[in-house]
Amino acid sequence: MTAAGVTAVAYPNIALVKYWGKRDEQWGLPVTGSLSMTLDCFPTTTRVAPAPGARADRVIINGQTAEGAARVRRFLDLVRTLADRPEPAMVESVNAGPTAAGLASSAAGFAALAAAAASAYGLRLDGRALSRLARRGSGSACRSVFGGFVQWHAGTADGPAGDAGSYAEPVPVGAVEPALVVAMTDTGSKAVPSREAMRRTLATSPLYRAWAESSQDDLCRLRSALRQGDLGTVGEIAEHNALGMHATMLAARPAIRYLSGASLAVLDQVASLRAGGVLAYATIDAGPNVVVLCARDDAPRVAAALGEVDQVRSVHVAGPGPGVAIRQGEGR
Ligand code: ADP
Ligand code: DP6
Ligand code: CO
């Protein structure tokens, strides 16, 4: 390991209004804006060390050299172009959470990689520029650059002109102490990666345009509900937006179905909690695991109820977590 190695830590984020679909694949520009909460659990730790003497990049993710390496190399090429430095790198990354299971490993992974690589190659980027860079690795990663609640602005133009306008930034929230309770049903990796699933949805689902249109309205209403600290409205919008996203996939050809029997059992339990007077609302990414939004004070009760569902393997309570950071004593 060379002295110039830099380590960054980033956390996954779970969107309350989802990003699903790109208007420009090459530049990673989304069709719609989205808004998420960064978690305080399941960090990704990534070390990048430029290796001037090496012939090629060496990439190790979760102890493995093949899975995901090509995507990391393409991202490093981008960083090398921006930094005007040609040398290969040694990259080592570990996800504390499950990879490719619908719990935002690509978000934490590429936020950490963007921060570590930018620093290791001498790029000086502010938060906004770093979020734009992370976006090129995985769209959702632009939001993990920041902590707490974060909005990704879609922007309008396409191609290089659209790049500047598509970034993430923290959003103000009112007096509310939210928690996201993760009901883990399956930590295995999904059959269809998010990237391919959203591509197919855009190309074949007759429901996609309707969801994208209503998503803009959801985003607008979510922002104001968050500002007012109205957790019930925040949750209602989030559940509506996520189920609508899954509906677009179910109507794709061939259909993409991330929801499992276990996911539905958790949705039932969330409905029972609400019937019992607890403010709890579900959201689900591209995977079978369910994330439940509730007030921090209700989180123990919500976690206990989710743990009672047969198919739930484990339950994790997350609060708002920090943005990406370079590990102390390293970087420039
Ligand atoms: P998820 O729901 O976990 O975000 P995705 O399909 O969006 O699933 O992304 C999974 C892919 O993200 C992996 O196959 C890999 O290419 C990439 N990825 C995950 N973790 C990392 C990491 N720590 N470093 C680099 N790339 C990663
Ligand atoms: C369902 O960011 O993983 O989690 O940009 O192709 O890497 P790529 O996709 P990714 O998609 C995330 C989809 C989602 C919703 C969200 O995080 O907003
Ligand atoms: Co992802």
Mind listing the pLDDT tens digit for each residue in 41-58? 999 999 999 999 999 999
Question: Closest Cα partner for 170 from 131, 206, 197?
Answer: 131
Residue with CA closest to ligand 1 atom 17: 106
CB-hemisphere CA count at 13 Å for 292? 35
Can you give the pLDDT at residue 330?
65
Residue with CA closest to ligand 2 atom 1: 285
Q: Is the CB of 116 under 6 A from ligand 1?
A: no
Question: Closest Cα partner for 28 from 169, 192, 147, 199?
Answer: 199
Pocket residues: Cβ below 6 A from ligand 2: 15, 18-20, 28, 34, 106, 138-140, 194-195, 285-286
Q: Is the CB of 144 under 6 A from ligand 1?
A: no
Instruction: Report the C-alpha gap between 32 and 6 in whole angstroms.
Output: 33
Pocket test for ligand 2, best of 140, 189, 190 (most atoms within 8 A of CB): 140
Can you give the pLDDT at residue 329?
72
Tell me which of 3.10.20.740, 3.30.230.10, 2.60.40.420, 3.40.50.10540 is the CATH number of domain 6-173. Answer: 3.30.230.10
Q: Is the CB of 102 under 6 A from ligand 1?
A: yes
Q: Is the CB of 320 under 6 A from ligand 1?
A: no
Residues by chain with Cβ below 5 Å of ion ligand 3:
106, 194
Can 6-173 and 178-318 be said to share one CATH topology?
Answer: no
Q: Please determine, for residue 195, whether its predicted confidence score (pLDDT) is greater than 80.
A: yes
Task: Return the ligand 2 atom nearest residue 135 CA.
Answer: 5
Give, in order, the Cα–Cα distances in Å from 143 to each of 149, 246, 276, 308: 9, 21, 34, 32
Q: Please determine, for residue 298, whether its predicted confidence score (pLDDT) is greater than 80.
A: yes
Pocket test for ligand 1, best of 45, 65, 105 (most atoms within 8 A of CB): 105
Quote the ligand 1 centre to 143 CA distance (angstroms): 15
pLDDT in tens, 65-97: 999 999 999 999 999 999 999 999 999 999 999
Q: Tell me which ligand sits closest to the C-alpha of residue 15.
A: 2
**Which structure tokens are listed for 191?**
């059959």
Residue with CA closest to ligand 1 atom 15: 68
**Model confidence at 332, in pLDDT bands (50, 70, 90)?**
low
| CATH level 3 topology of 178-318 | Alpha-Beta Plaits (3.30.70)
**Model confidence at 2, in pLDDT bands (50, 70, 90)?**
very low
Q: Please determine, for residue 246, whether its predicted confidence score (pLDDT) is greater than 80.
A: yes
Q: Please determine, for residue 1, whether its predicted confidence score (pLDDT) is greater than 80.
A: no
For residue 77, the SS3 value is helix
pLDDT in tens, 150-187: 999 999 999 999 999 999 999 999 999 999 999 999 99
Q: What percent of the chain has pLDDT above 90?
A: 97
Beta bridge partners of 156: none
Instruction: Report the C-alpha gap between 217 and 244 in whole angstroms.
Output: 13
Instruction: Report the C-alpha gap between 22 and 29 in whole angstroms.
Output: 5
User: In the chain, where are the structural domains located?
Assistant: 6-173, 178-318
**Which structure tokens are listed for 92?**
């080592």
Residue with CA closest to ligand 2 atom 7: 138
Can you give the pLDDT at residue 85?
97
Q: Tell me which ligand sits closest to the C-alpha of residue 104.
A: 1
190: DSSP letter: P
Instruction: Say if CB 324 and CB 112 are below 8 A apart.
Output: yes
Mean pLDDT of 202-231: 98
Instruction: Report the C-alpha gap between 305 and 88 in whole angstroms.
Output: 49
Instruction: Say if CB 176 and CB 293 are below 8 A apart.
Output: no
Mean pLDDT of 302-316: 98
Q: Is the CB of 60 under 6 A from ligand 1?
A: no
For residue 124, the SS3 value is coil
Question: Closest Cα partner for 280 from 298, 293, 299, 266?
Answer: 293
Helices and strands per DSSP (H, E), number in the chain: 10, 15
Task: Return the ligand 2 atom nearest residue 106 CA.
Answer: 3
Give me the chain's average pLDDT, please.
97
